[in-house]
Amino acid sequence: MEDIIFELQFFLEVLISGLLTGSLYSLVALGFVLIFKASGVFNFAQGAMMLFAALSLVGFQELLGVHWTVAFVMAIAVMVLLAWCVEKFVLGKLVNQEPIILFMATIGITFFLDGFGQTLWGSDIKVMDVGLPTGSFDMGGIFIDKLELVAGFTAGALVLALALFFNKTKIGRALRAVADDHQAALSVGISLRTIWIIVWSVAGLVGLVAGIMWGSKLGVQFSLTLLALKALPVLILGGFTSIPGAIVGGLIIGSGEKLAEIYIGPFVGGAIENWFAYMLAMVFLLFRPQGLFGEKIIERV
């Protein structure tokens, strides 16, 4: 009887940590969604942007000795500047190109940012200290990671804020118009340039927040860029164009991979998390080829 209670409790713990980890993935995935939604660009550089933002924050903190909130504002400024540069030197020159060309261009941005970030701030590991709690607390025998709880709330708040921004503000409506049809948006007087700068800035901000969470967890280092790979299954599951999709996708992938690793893993040798997330996403895709919340693809000959 005690065993059963323990097992149930353990199951609950796995589920909760999976959901929390999933919300951390969502934070990374959100950046992808924002840019894809507004410009149809699959932004390979999101991981690099996240690292670059986090590096800037920690770098300013170390360099100038300022409080992290000041450094945070400065890092946002850096990301806005980056968004401006991306529009000016890359996207602005590639208007009307095929998606795969734009995708390749973001790969160029990735390489550039990786080199640039390390040139500015070095490749050594840096400790991120913005006062986020560490350790875990005990909730009736279930340990919950404090940092992940904060991350979960942050992700939720971010989605809410973004949803309001997209649906209630004028800029948000303009963004949706651009996402629907570039030319139609242009013809009603929406500036494509401004919109792209805004979207890339917001994606940079989301990257910064994700970078803070993951940086507090792992230290700020180059490996953070690899997190982009964790966000991809979340992305296809939720659909490239849906903000709530990123959250729901994150929760499903996070809990799914943890449960699989713990309850299936031991029978096949373990370490199945990585491919399981992709397999899970793929199976979902077989039923809904545009992702859970993606817009229906209509094809005409």
Partner 1 sequence: MFYREAGQFKSSYKEDQAVFPILQDRVGVGLMLLVAFIGIPLLTSEYFISAIMTPFLILALAAIGLNILTGYAGQISLGTGGFMAVGAFAAYKFATFSIAIGGAETTIPLVVTILLAGVVAALVGVMFGIPSLRIKGFYLAVATLAAQFFIEWVLVKFGWFTNYSPSGIITAPPLEVMGYLFDSPGEKYIFTLSFVAVMALAAKNLVRSHIGRGWMAIRDMDIAAEIIGFRPLHTKLSAFAVSSFFCGVAGALWAFVHLGTVEPEAFGINRSFAILFMVIIGGMGSIIGSFIGAAFITLLPIFLSNVPPMIGWDIGVDMISHMEFMIFGALIIFFLIVEPHGLARLWSIGKEKLRSWPFPY
Partner 2 sequence: MSLRKFVLGALGVAVLAAPFAVSAPALAEESLYLPKLVYRTGPFAPGGIPTANGAVDYWAMINERDGGVGGAKVIVEECEFGYNTDRGVECYERTKKKHGGALVYQPYSTGVTYALADRTRKDKIPLLTMGYGRSDAGIGSAFPYVFPMALNYWGQSTGIMKYMASQEGGIEKMKGKTIALVYLDIAYGKESLPIFRTMSEKFDFKLKEYPVTFPGIEQKATWLQIRRAKPDYIVMWGWGVMNQSAIKEAANIRFPIDHFIGNWWSGAEQDTVPAGKAAIGYKSATFSAAGTDFPVIQDILTHVYGKGKGKGKENVGQVLYNRAVVTQVFIHHAILNAQKEFGVKSVSSEQLRWGLENVNMTDATAASLGMKGLGPNLKISCNDHIGGGGVFIQQWDGKKWNIVSEYIKPMNDLVIPAMEKSAAKYLKEKGVSAVSCS
Binding site for partner 2 (CB under 8 A): 10, 13-14, 17-18, 21, 118, 123-125, 127, 134-136, 143, 145, 217-219, 221-223, 225-227, 230, 257-258, 261-262, 265-266, 269-271, 273-274
Q: Which does 240 bind (CB under 5 to 8 A by kind): partner 2, partner 1, none?
A: partner 1
Burial 10-42 (b: 16+ CB within 10 A, else e): eeebbebbbbbbbbbbbbbbbbbbbbbbbbbbb
Q: Which residues bind partner 1 (CB under 8 A)?
A: 42, 89-90, 93-94, 97-101, 103-105, 107-116, 118-119, 123, 229, 232-233, 235-236, 240, 268-269, 271-272, 274-275, 278-279, 281-282, 285-286, 289-291, 297, 299, 301
In 3-state terms, what secondary structure has residue 112?
A: helix
How far is Cα 29 from Cα 33, in angstroms, rounded to an integer? Answer: 6
Q: State the maximum Cα–Cα separation within the chain, in Å, rounded to a whole number.
A: 69
Out of partner 2, partner 1, none, what residue 241 binds, judged by CB under 5 to 8 A for its kind, is none
Orientation angle between helical segments 170-180 and 2-39, nearest 10 degrees: 80
Q: How far is the CB of 129 from partner 1 (least distance, A)?
A: 25
Q: Give the pair of three-digit tokens for residue 229.
A: 């790979």
Residue closer to partner 1 (CB basis): 199 or 236: 236
Residue with Cβ nearer partner 2 (73 or 127): 127
Residue 24 amino acid letter: L
Binding-site partner at residue 132 among partner 2, partner 1, none, CB < 5 to 8 Å by type: none
**Cα–Cα distance measured from residue 218 to residue 31, given in angstroms and rounded to the nearest whole number:** 20
Closest CB to partner 2 among residues 28, 199: 28
Report the amino acid identity of residue 167.
Answer: N
For residue 46, CA distances in Å to 23, 34, 74, 137, 260 come to 17, 10, 19, 32, 27
Of residues 245, 224, 221, 216, the one with CA closest to residue 233? 245
Question: Min. distance of Cβ 25 from partner 1 in angstroms?
Answer: 14
Minimum Å gap between C-beta 273 and partner 2 is: 6
* Residue 15 partner contact from partner 2, partner 1, none using kind-dependent CB cut-offs of 5 to 8 Å: none
- Among partner 2, partner 1, none, residue 289 binds (CB under 5-8 Å by kind): partner 1
Which residues are bridge partners to 139 per DSSP?
A: 142
At its nearest, how many Å lie between partner 1 and the CB of residue 186?
Answer: 21
CA distance linking residue 50 with residue 176, whole number of Å: 24
- Triad 183, 185, 190: Cα angle to 5°: 125
C-alpha span between 12 and 129 (Å, rounded): 30
With respect to partner 2, which residue has the nearer C-beta, 5 or 164?
5
Q: How far is the CB of 267 from partner 1 (least distance, A)?
A: 12
Residue closer to partner 2 (CB basis): 233 or 294: 233
* Choice between 37 and 258, CB closer to partner 2: 258
Q: What minimum distance in Å lies between the beta carbon of 143 and partner 2?
A: 6
Kindly state the smallest distance separating residue 168's Cβ from partner 1, in Å: 29
